């Protein structure tokens, strides 16, 4: 999606559609529009109910260059997160009703204009995305050009430029996650990481399974062993200014998870191409942050593999050793994400990480706890927790902190090894906390660490009024805001 500002009055812009969210009074941009059209918009907006699936498409009279107006009614008071959802709904309706490719938007004035510009661009891009990558019959009138009805000040153009980059990157991440696992393999993601490193001037190091094994990454190697696809550990580094203020992102990249020998039911495998959404979000952050904040010292680690059953696969009852020397009893091969992340975290620590966020579709238990709207946040450091919560709020993503009380450490106890990777049965209590407590064992005291479990919001099981079902790009905007304020 390309962004520009209005060059003329709203009625003089040659666009396919004007999108307008109407609070109590018409947006300022309508002050110079055709009087008859303005009166009609006022009449319709009075009758439109709030927060509804109903919108109204009004064809414009001769003399108005825009072909139509899409109207949605909003309350006179609206917080930024809810406003983002309504813009997303507008984008979705514009795409489904084929109202593009050229769309102008009027700002409501309900929040600071610079904040609203960012929300509007990202929201409309989020809503207008359709996951029809392999449809032979596609809707052709995509939203390609978004025109903002606001003075093109330096500050406004800067905000719009950032929002355009973030919105296009969110589309990139969603496409990655929506692609079939036969396309997005570990090697495919390695090639994407190399391309992003080249584009942003970042360094990249790629470890094969054999190299990972030599470094002692027994947990990662155990999971990788079951697949015929080559597996990789990847390190990205954009040095920036260097020094101790280094932000480190770690992403789980299971490009397909069958559960291994602890095989999932077939219905549960259908969406398991999305088990690399954490790694995709980290790749997206590396696509944006070095461009928006080149002075930031940014490291990223991706654990890329499949989890499949075979004669080479690791087995329940095995004991494996991670890079930091801790031994792990395998009670379920379907608790593999924490294993590959364990070695990724240990590698990050070895490379000097001091502030870490790992992002993973780690547990179905987090979906049970928080649903598909909210990511679970676990952390060992209160001020780091608060910084991530503030970044999520600014990004318009819902994140909720869950506890890691010392008593929960009993969950991960093994009789024969240092740790158990699972409670050993489905329906065990505190499943999301179990996963976080396990990961915490691979981050030494003194390092600020947080774990984002995005199992719920990374994938919507069905469409809603503001976003298509499938991949959402969850946590990408939070990681970007965290990096910008780090």
pLDDT exceeds cutoff 80 at 301? yes
Percent of the chain with pLDDT over 90: 84
Average pLDDT over every residue of 351-377: 97
148 in Cβ contact with 6 (< 8 Å): yes
| Average pLDDT across the chain, whole number | 94
pLDDT exceeds cutoff 80 at 224? yes
* pLDDT at 347 (0 to 100): 98
Q: Given 264, 293, 354, 393, which residue is catalytic? A: 264
pLDDT band for 164, please (50, 70, 90 cuts): very high
Percent of the chain with pLDDT over 70: 97
User: What DSSP string describes 314-360?
Assistant: --TT-EEE-TTS-EEE-S-TT--HHHHHHHHHHHHHHTT-SEEEEEE
**Closest CA relative to residue 212, chosen from 322, 310, 349:** 322
Q: How far apart are CA 197 and CA 486, in angstroms?
A: 21
pLDDT band for 71, please (50, 70, 90 cuts): very high
Which are the contacts of 91, defined by CB distance < 8 A and separation ≥ 6? 19, 123, 124, 125, 126, 127, 128, 143
* pLDDT at 187 (0 to 100): 98
pLDDT exceeds cutoff 70 at 53? no
Each residue of 265-281: pLDDT tens digit?
999 999 999 999 999 99
Q: Given 235, 287, 338, 440, which residue is catalytic? A: 338
Lowest-confidence segment of 239-253, 313-327, 377-391 by average pLDDT: 239-253
Q: How many Cβ atoms from other residues are within 10 Å of residue 101's Cβ?
A: 17
Q: How far apart are CA 365 and CA 428, in angstroms?
A: 9
pLDDT exceeds cutoff 70 at 302? yes
For Cα atoms 347, 350, 351, give the angle at the middle one, nearest 5 degrees.
Answer: 90
Average pLDDT over every residue of 306-318: 98
More confident position, 201 or 36: 201
pLDDT exceeds cutoff 60 at 51? no
Between helix 431-440 and helix 337-350 the angle, nearest 10°, is 30
pLDDT band for 427, please (50, 70, 90 cuts): low
Q: Is 135 a catalytic residue?
A: no
User: Residue written as tokens 């990205």?
Assistant: 236
Q: Is 174 a catalytic residue?
A: no
Average pLDDT over every residue of 344-360: 97
For Cα atoms 54, 100, 130, give the angle at the middle one, nearest 5 degrees.
Answer: 75
User: Residue written as tokens 């905000």?
Assistant: 159
* pLDDT at 243 (0 to 100): 64
In order of their start, the domains of the chain are 2-153 (3.40.220.10), 175-485 (3.40.630.10)
Element at 208 (helix H, strand E): strand 203-208
Average pLDDT over every residue of 50-64: 78
* Length in residues, the chain: 486
pTM: 0.96
**Closest CA relative to residue 279, chosen from 343, 352, 186:** 186
Give the CA distances from residue 112 to residues 107, 276, 292, in Å, rounded to whole numbers and listed in that order: 10, 36, 22
pLDDT exceeds cutoff 90 at 11? no
């Amino acid at each position: 999606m390309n962004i520009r500002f209005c060059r003329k009055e709203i009625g003089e812009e040659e666009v396919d559609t004007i999108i307008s969210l109407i609070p109590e009074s018409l947006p300022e941009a309508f002050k110079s529009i055709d009087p008859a059209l303005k009166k009609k918009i006022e009449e319709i907006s009075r009758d439109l109910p709030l927060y509804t699936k109903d919108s109204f498409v009004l064809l414009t009279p001769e003399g108005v260059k825009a072909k139509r107006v899409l109207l949605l009614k909003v309350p006179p008071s609206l917080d930024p997160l809810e406003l983002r959802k309504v813009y997303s709904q507008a984008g979705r309706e514009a795409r489904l009703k084929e109202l593009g490719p050229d769309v102008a938007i009027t700002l409501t004035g309900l929040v600071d204009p610079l904040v609203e510009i960012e929300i509007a661009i990202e929201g409309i891009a989020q809503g207008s995305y359709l996951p029809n990558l392999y449809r032979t019959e596609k809707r052709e009138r995509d939203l390609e050009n978004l025109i903002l009805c606001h003075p093109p000040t330096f500050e406004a153009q800067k905000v719009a430029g950032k929002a355009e980059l973030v919105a296009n990157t969110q589309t990139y991440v969603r496409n990655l996650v929506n692609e079939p696992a036969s396309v997005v393999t570990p090697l495919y993601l390695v090639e994407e990481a190399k391309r992003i490193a080249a584009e942003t001037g970042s360094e990249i190091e790629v470890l094969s399974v054999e190299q990972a094994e030599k470094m002692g990454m027994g947990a990662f190697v155990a999971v990788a062993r079951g697949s015929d696809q080559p597996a990789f550990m990847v390190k990205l580094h954009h040095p920036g200014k260097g020094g101790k203020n280094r932000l480190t992102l770690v992403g789980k990249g299971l490009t397909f998870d069958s559960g291994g020998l602890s095989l999932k039911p077939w219905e549960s495998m259908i969406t398991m191409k999305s088990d690399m959404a954490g790694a995709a979000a980290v790749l997206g952050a590396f696509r944006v942050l070095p461009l928006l904040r080149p002075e930031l010292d940014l490291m990223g680690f991706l654990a890329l593999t499949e989890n499949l059953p075979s004669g080479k696969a690791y087995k329940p009852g095995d004991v494996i050793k991670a890079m930091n020397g801790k031994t792990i009893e395998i009670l379920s091969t379907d608790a593999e994400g924490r294993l590959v992340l364990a070695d990724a975290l240990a590698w990050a620590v070895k490379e000097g990480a001091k502030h870490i966020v790992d992002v993973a579709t780690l547990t179905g238990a987090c979906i049970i706890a928080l649903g598909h709207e909210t990511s679970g946040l676990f952390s060992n450091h209160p001020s780091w927790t608060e910084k991530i919560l503030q970044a999520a709020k600014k990004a318009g993503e819902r994140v909720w902190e869950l506890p890691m009380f010392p008593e929960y450490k009993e969950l991960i106890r093994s009789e024969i090894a240092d740790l158990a990777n699972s409670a050993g049965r489905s329906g065990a209590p505190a499943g999301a906390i179990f996963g976080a407590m396990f990961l915490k064992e691979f981050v030494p005291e003194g390092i600020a660490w947080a774990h984002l479990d995005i199992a719920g919001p990374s994938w919507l099981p069905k469409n809603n009024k503001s976003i298509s079902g499938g991949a959402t790009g969850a946590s990408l905007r939070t990681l970007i805001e965290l990096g910008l304020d780090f």
